Structure 1
Amino acid sequence: MELDVEVHPATADRFEAVGAILAPKSADGRACWCLSYRLPNAEFREMHGPAALARLRRFADEGTPPGVVATVDGEPAGWCSVAPRTSHHRLTHSRTIPVVDDVPVWSIVCIVVRPQFRRQGMARRLLEGAIDYARAAGAPMLEAYPVDPEGARVSPALAYVGTTGLFASVGFERIVATDSKSAGLQRWLMRRELP
């Protein structure tokens, strides 16, 4: 049976769902909250719990939702971080993920699917929603930095960057191998034009 999935930009009124997806299992546990690429390291290290979620929400409050959120029958199911590359401090200053030209790309840096919704096509649905959102916002091109698992299985804990096969399935093409690795695997810069 196919899931009844809705994917929408993570506007401020949808941040309860974003929090349900990104929160660590324990209230005092550390979590990235999709801020590690967006903030300078010193600021990122200071962010915990509700303060981190509030900081992520601030992007939506300022007018550019920082990603898309998927729900299934109203239940939070998945998250995809997608926003202008220029809004990601670490990407702007990266030594391992190159800037290949001056196109004002948007970047996908994270995909999170809650365990009960995995292995049901949710990551692909999130990417389709991210493409729709970026196109509607006027982005000319999307960029992502997935791993090439070379036939190996990627741990769910390290799969947040996605795989080259997943991105290829929604029209992304490999542009250049980066010097970045995730889970010890090569990351590729992949792109998709948004006509």
Structure 2
Amino acid sequence: MGIEVRPATDFDDVRTLVGPKRPDANVCWCLSYRIPSAENQALTGPARGDRVRQLLQEEIPPGVLAYDGDEVVGWAAVHLRAATTFARNRRIPLLDDLPVWSLWCVRVRPGHRGTGIAHHLIAGAVAFARERGAPVVEAYPVDNEGRTVDLTMAYVGTRAMFDRAGFTKAADTGSVLNGFPRVLMRLDLR
């Protein structure tokens, strides 16, 4: 069966990919760039999952999920940049006034990595944004020049991943992750 990517609307599937093993744990839930920093820092334990549940009820879901048959195997966070902390991020430049979409997290479940699911997620996130009128999709991966990226920081992706997906480097950023510079990559959908 092929990989299918669809909007993230199922809380249990999102929890499988970005939630904690214990409900009271303070894991990211992919909220760090999606909600204001003060709110993100104030949310703890189950309140983090509750906030994700709210985001899943909004008109535009907070991302996409990849499925291999009925099994959820991947997650990508994608949303209007204006509705993320990237809108005010001093290290990630704002290049123009276009209503761009940001793609900032690509996560594949252990046991499914290295099988091309990340490429399906990027393509699915781009399609999701295009269907909602995005003129441009941006990503902020590390430029690791082929060197190994720590798995805890690999969620941003690598420049090579986004090159393969048709994105081009649009700008350097002032952001560094895991010792690697992050670059602003863009895919024009117009």
Q: TM-score scaled by structure 1?
A: 0.92
Shift in CA distance, 126/49, structure 1 to aligned 2, threshold 3 Å: farther
CA contact under 8 A between 2:4 and 2:67: conserved in structure 1?
A: yes
Can you list the C-alpha shifts for 1:174-194, whole angstroms capped at 9, x where unaligned? 001100011110000010011
Per-residue displacement from partner, 1:79-112 (whole Å, max 9, x unpaired)? Answer: 0000000110x21211100101101100011111
2:188 is equivalent to residue 193 of structure 1: yes
Give the 5 Å matches for 1:3-82.
4-11=2-9, 14-82=10-78
- In the alignment, the residues of structure 1 paired with residue 28 and residue 87 of structure 2 have an alpha-carbon distance, to the nearest angstrom, of 18
What CA distance in whole angstroms lies between the structure 2 residues aligned with 1:49 and 1:133?
Answer: 30
Q: Pick the aligned partner of 2:87 from 71, 88, 92.
A: 92
The CA deviation at 1:46 is: 2.3
Q: Which amino acid aligns with 2:56?
A: A
Cα distance in 2 between the residues matched to 1:78 and 1:61: 20
Residue identity (%): 45
RMSD, aligned α-carbons: 1.4
Structure 1 residue ranges, 4+ long, deviating more than 3 angstroms after superposition? 25-28
Query: Are 1:173 and 2:171 matched, yes or no?
Result: no
> In structure 1, what is the Cα distance between the partners aligned to 2:72 and 2:135?
29
| Cα displacement string for residues 25-68 of structure 1 (whole angstroms, at most 9, x for unaligned residues) | 34433211111112222211122343222312323312011100
Call closer, same or farther: CA 1:70–1:183 in 2, change over 3 Å. same
Contact 2:23 2:46 in 1 (8 A): no
Q: Which amino acid aligns with 1:7?
A: V
Residue 113 of structure 1: CA displacement? 0.9
Paired residues, what number?
190
Structure 1 residues 138-176: Cα deviation after superposition (integer angstroms, max 9, x where no partner): 111100000011121112211000000000111100001
Equivalent residue of 1:120, what SS? Answer: coil
1:117 matched residue in structure 2: 112
Secondary structure of residue in 1 paired with 2:73: strand
Write the distance in 2 (CA, Å) between the matches of 1:52 and 1:78: 20
- In structure 1, runs of 5+ residues without a counterpart are none
Q: 1:161 is matched with which residue?
A: 156
